[in-house]
Amino acid sequence: MASSPAALKSVTAPISKVRERIGRLPWWLQLAVVVGLAMLVPLYNDDYVTSIGVSVLTFAMLGLGLNIVVGYAGLLDLGYAAFFAIGAYTTAIMTVKLGFNFWTTLLPAIAFAGMAGAILGYPTLRLRSDYLAIVTLGFGEIVRILFTNWDYVDGPNGVWNIPSPSLFGFDLVDQNSYYVIGVILVLIAIIFARNLSYSRLGRGWVAVREDEFAAEAVGVPTLNLKLLAYSMGGMWAGLAGAFFASRVSAINPSSFTFLLSSQILILIIIGGLGSLPGVILGAIVVVGLPELLRGLQNARFLIFAALLILIMLFRPGGLWPQVRARRAPFVGLEDEEEKQAAERPFKLQPSVAEGEAILRVQGLAQRFGGVKAVDDVSFDVRRGEILSMIGPNGAGKTTVFNCITGVQRPKAGRIEFDGRPLGRLKPHSIVRRGMARTFQGIRLFKLMAVFENVMIGASVRERNLPWQALLHSRGERRDERRALKEARYWLRFVGLEEEAGRLATELSYADQRRVEIARALASEPMLVLLDEPAAGMNPTEKLELMRMVRRIRDRGVTVVLIDHDMSLVMNVSDRVVVLDRGQVIAMGTPAEVQNNPRVIEAYLGRDDADEEAELAEATGGA
Amino acid sequence: MSIFIQYTVNGLTAGAFYALVALGYTIIYGIIRLINFAHGDLTMVGSFIGWTVLVSMGLQRLPVFLAIALAALASMVVTSVINVGILQFAYKPLLNKSLLAILITALGMSIFLQNAALLVFGAGVQAYPHLVTSSGVFIGGVRISYAQSIFFTISLVLMAGLYSFARFTTLGTAMRALAVDHDAARLMGINVNRVIAIAFILAAILAAAAGVMIGLYYTQINFFLGFLLGLRAFTSAVLGGIGNIPGAMAGGLVIGLLESYCAGYLSGRWQDVFVFGVLITVLIIKPTGLFGERVAERM
């Protein structure tokens, strides 16, 4: 908060310094310290304190799960208690009604809750986040009412006498043993959540959270990832539910209200979105604070709410925000392999021959309302060339890009890439086929590190499975190292290796454009579409960029370039396509296009001083 | 058939209340993209202020319409002050920072208002005076009470008033401009902060009106009534297409009717399942609500 007094700053500054220090310790050491501290609680040997500890652990488990949905993937979920309820009821029904052992109910509890996540997720994936909020809220209420009206589980009375688990012949009945089980479950959940966070999945989720549209366009299968987030989040809650059911030994629908869902949401947001230490802190605050205020009787939730608001006002990013920047991301990668990687051929080899059309656009048309943005546009891009697309503002250049990359569905026309029609493929599938792009307005994933942005591109064709990411398996580690090397390679290519660990937003405008190019190239495309890469660059940077475009082509990648800068386009291109008012008015070598009367009219006939100057500069320079 | 009409009449009355509250959600969402969770509870507070004026201060002995008018006026003033206070204190500092942070402060405000009401007015049910009789006219076996017809009419007048305000006044146009683009609106010389505050006052006025009418109509209120009411009103706003003022009105009426039919023909137990089921189905088929949203996608 801007108005926070200086005195407050002097208190919080050392705290955040300590937090940073702790953040730099190896993460297993941090974890060991936390577990060590947690184990002090049962030693205190006060059942009241321990039982609050168990509640904190339950909320932490729930928070870790919701963190996947809201913190990583950015999907607002206001009905998370439903999954918790499904897990709890699964265990209750299986133990009480069907006579199963507690331990055997864990997997079904996880599975049912995960399935419920998929069932909720599938039809709602295309909804925007605020609509998602109400749908999830409705889902939470529906599940609760279903349990309330279900006679088999005694409706509002719920299920009683849920047995406590036993282990090696010991009945685990007292709070201390629940506490220990809770610590173990939370520990496992933290390790899994951390593995996920720094995997291909985790990066994909954060990319979806930061900019879903851009994520899809650079190769992230956004719908699948969102579905997976729901279903994984559900599984976590299912496990927490099973634990909860056996611990309280009697459950009823009133334990799973909207208030619970909102408490879980509150805890991950005051902890810090996406942050694991934040989840633990948040759970302590959300459970512990009302307990501390117990003496205030009726006023305690009033004070709790007031404190909650104050925390948000003074720390809108949460108590322990996640920072994805890293000091030295490439430490420990061998340079020897790096050299081999540099000489490796592109994995995807175009099936068309050099000089043949790798991209064929025929009769492309796109309309927005009554406006014909693109009208019957046809052109070919030949393998190995640099083709530029120029035209006045509003000529339809970016719309053509959007249609080619599958971001928009054209009203008519046929697009063939590498000898095969693209049809109705989703943008991320088109990236996998070997076409990558950059954006006119920079669309990096802002709160991710630069190298992670590039790794998103490098991972588009990886096939490892979610459980591999969860367990950080050997195959997954190999894929990750490969993607990291690719990221280093392409950041070197664009001259930004030194900046790899910083957040994308911290870079200069021109550098952000370079990262976008690196991210596109890391997906090893056969064709790359650059949308005004020179916009906002100074003349020196533009020269460098031109050189880079040639270097890209020299590596065997076909380049299509949109730009306003005529001198850049004329110098670097093999051929030029000129668009005006949605139509192709000229096509050919730079020299041919420059002398085409229709092109001169399109630029000069507008009485636009800027464009005139640009054309004059271009014709003078060429 | 007469039963059906009876359910329709009952549903429209409840729906009109939902619509008034839904308008508050939609105005605020349209302007600052916030699901204002505290809004249902603000309505509850409005209801209690009306109760205080009528019962605790004894104004119910005045002529009926004067008493109700004074209660509504007092309620509108107090809720407006509270709502602007909430805006200035809890939402304004976070406006350009994090939507999720504001959402959490809104949740916090909801809990705060509920517990404040719990402390001040107690946990039990408070009885509103029976000022507007529940007797009425029978038309072909359908009973339409005076309360129903009066409250429905007042609600329609308020909605029409809000609609014309948004549509035909300069301030209303400024508000709609703000819903599309804050920066452009500011560059056009609109005092953004003032317009946001006015939106919060409008929302509070409608909520107070709804709160007092709900008290008079159902004659029993408690500190928790804001939760379900807010939930249904928010559902209405989304059903109609959030940010869309006529949409919120229609959404409220539709939800009222759905509830009434479900409670009448099926069972009250399944009412909420039915309502949410319809909402989810509508959103899956038409993701921007029945009448389309009026919120510019900020890319």
Q: What burial class does residue A332 get, using C-beta atoms within 10 Å of its C-beta: 0-12 exposed, 13-18 middle, 19+ buried?
A: exposed
Chain B nearest-CA distance from A212, in A, is 10
How does the average pLDDT of chain B come out, rounded? Answer: 91
- Token pair recorded at residue A303: 């004070």
CA nearest neighbour of A147 among A137, A132, A159: A159
Confidence at B297, pLDDT banded by 50, 70, 90: very low
Task: State mean pLDDT over A173-198.
Answer: 91
Q: Which chain A residues are Cβ-neighbours of B108 within 8 angstroms?
A: 266, 305-306, 308-309, 312
Look at residue A23 and tell me whether its pLDDT is greater than 70.
yes
Give the position of tokens 């190239």: A521
Confidence at A167, pLDDT banded by 50, 70, 90: confident
Look at residue A22 and tell me whether its pLDDT is greater than 80.
no
Look at residue A602 and tell me whether its pLDDT is greater than 90.
no
Look at residue A336 and tell me whether its pLDDT is greater than 60.
no
Report the residue of B99, B107, B244, B285 to disrupt the A interface, i.e. the one with the largest count of A CBs within 10 Å.
B107
Chain A nearest-CA distance from B131, in A, is 32
| pLDDT for the residue A2 | 45
Contact A305 B111 (CB under 8 A): yes
CA nearest neighbour of B25 among B278, B233, B209, B174: B233
Contact B273 A135 (CB under 8 A): no
Task: State mean pLDDT over A54-81.
Answer: 94
Report the residue of B97, B98, B103 to disrupt the A interface, i.e. the one with the largest count of A CBs within 10 Å.
B103
Interatomic CA distance for residues A584 and A546, integer angstroms = 24
CA nearest neighbour of A290 among B105, B111, B7, B165: B111
Higher pLDDT, A174 or B246: B246
> What pLDDT digit, counting tens, does each position of B71-101 carry?
999 999 999 999 999 999 999 999 887 788 8
| pLDDT for the residue A341 | 56
Contact A298 B118 (CB under 8 A): yes
Confidence at A600, pLDDT banded by 50, 70, 90: confident
Chain A nearest-CA distance from B135, in A, is 34
Beta carbons within 10 angstroms of residue A419's beta carbon: 12
Contact A302 B112 (CB under 8 A): yes
Look at residue A558 and tell me whether its pLDDT is greater than 50.
yes
Q: What is the DSSP string of chain B?
A: -HHHHHHHHHHHHHHHHHHHHHHHHHHHHHHH----TTHHHHHHHHHHHHHIIIIIS-GGGS-HHHHHHHHHHHHHHHHHHHHHHHIIIIIGGGTTT-HHHHHHHHHHHHHHHHHHHHHHH-SS-EEPP--S-S-EEEETTEEEEHHHHHHHHHHHHHHHHHHHHHHHSHHHHHHHHHHH-HHHHHHTT--HHHHHHHHHHHHHHHHHHHHHHHHHHH-EE-TTHHHHHHHHHHHHHHHH-TT-HHHHHHHHHHHHHHHHHIIIII-GGGHHHHHHHHHHHHHHHSTT-TT--------
Look at residue A83 and tell me whether its pLDDT is greater than 50.
yes
* Terminal alpha carbon distance of chain A: 54
Q: Is A304 at the interface with chain B, CB within 8 A?
A: yes
Contact A308 B93 (CB under 8 A): no
% of chain A surpassing 90 pLDDT: 57
Chain A 278-297, residues with CB within 8 Å of chain B CB atoms: none
How does the average pLDDT of chain A come out, rounded? Answer: 88
What phi-psi label fits residue A403: left (phi over 0), alpha (psi between -120 and 50 degrees) or beta? alpha
Report the residue of A308, A312, A442, A443 to disrupt the B interface, i.e. the one with the largest count of B CBs within 10 Å.
A312
Q: Is A308 at the interface with chain B, CB within 8 A?
A: yes
Secondary structure E strands in A533-574:
558-562
- Token pair recorded at residue A313: 């006002």
Q: Which chain B residues are Cβ-neighbours of A130 within 8 angstroms?
A: 29, 33, 35, 242
H/E stretch holding A193: helix A175-197
Task: State mean pLDDT over A32-37.
Answer: 90
| pLDDT for the residue A72 | 93
What residue in A sits closest to B297 (Cα-Cα)? A128
| pLDDT for the residue A345 | 45
Chain A nearest-CA distance from B104, in A, is 6
Higher pLDDT, B177 or B154: B154
Contact A308 B277 (CB under 8 A): no
Task: State mean pLDDT over A270-276.
Answer: 90
Contact B235 A213 (CB under 8 A): no
Q: Which chain A residues are Cβ-neighbours of B242 within 8 angstroms?
A: 130-131
> What pLDDT digit, counting tens, does each position of A479-498 carry?
888 889 889 999 999 999 99
Task: State mean pLDDT over A197-223.
Answer: 94
Contact A299 B280 (CB under 8 A): no
- Token pair recorded at residue A260: 């619970």
Look at residue B203 and tell me whether its pLDDT is greater than 60.
yes
Q: How many CB pairs under 8 A join A and B?
A: 120
CA dist list (Å): A587 to A388, A413, A580, A594, A605: 10, 19, 12, 10, 19
| Pick from A130, A141, A145: CB nearest B35 | A130
Give the position of tokens 């999830």: A136
Interatomic CA distance for residues A395 and A361, integer angstroms = 17
Between A216-220, A330-334, B19-23, the lowest mean confidence (pLDDT) is in: A330-334
Q: Are B37 and B107 in contact (CB under 8 A)?
A: yes
Contact A138 B279 (CB under 8 A): yes
Residues carrying CATH 3.40.50.300, chain A: 384-410+423-434+527-622
Contact B105 A309 (CB under 8 A): yes
Chain A nearest-CA distance from B130, in A, is 31
Confidence at B130, pLDDT banded by 50, 70, 90: confident
| pLDDT for the residue A1 | 42
| Pick from B104, B118, B276: CB nearest A142 | B276
User: What is the SS3 assignment for A98?
Assistant: coil
Chain A 123-162, residues with CB within 8 Å of chain B CB atoms: 123-124, 126-128, 130-131, 133-135, 137-139, 141-142, 145-146, 148-149
Chain A 600-619, residues with CB within 8 Å of chain B CB atoms: none
Contact B287 A131 (CB under 8 A): yes
- pTM of the predicted model over 0.80: yes
Contact B108 A134 (CB under 8 A): no
> What pLDDT digit, counting tens, does each position of A389-448 carry?
998 888 889 999 999 999 999 999 999 999 999 988 999 999 999 999 999 889 999 999
Q: Is A1 at the interface with chain B, CB within 8 A?
A: yes
CA nearest neighbour of B34 among B145, B179, B163, B143: B179
Q: Which listed CATH number (1.10.287, 1.10.3470, 3.40.1620, 1.10.10) goes with B2-123+136-285?
A: 1.10.3470
Cα angle, residue A449 at apex, residues A443 and A453 outer, rounded to 5° = 45
| pLDDT for the residue A347 | 67
| pLDDT for the residue A621 | 42
Contact A149 B29 (CB under 8 A): no
Task: State mean pLDDT over A368-394.
Answer: 90
| pLDDT for the residue B195 | 93
Between A102-106, A161-165, A262-266, A433-437, the lowest mean confidence (pLDDT) is in: A161-165
| pLDDT for the residue A619 | 56
Give the position of tokens 């090893």: A524
The domain made up of A384-410+423-434+527-622 is a member of CATH 3.40.50.300:
yes
Task: State mean pLDDT over A453-482.
Answer: 89
Contact B299 A141 (CB under 8 A): no
| Pick from A130, A273, A302: CB nearest B116 | A302
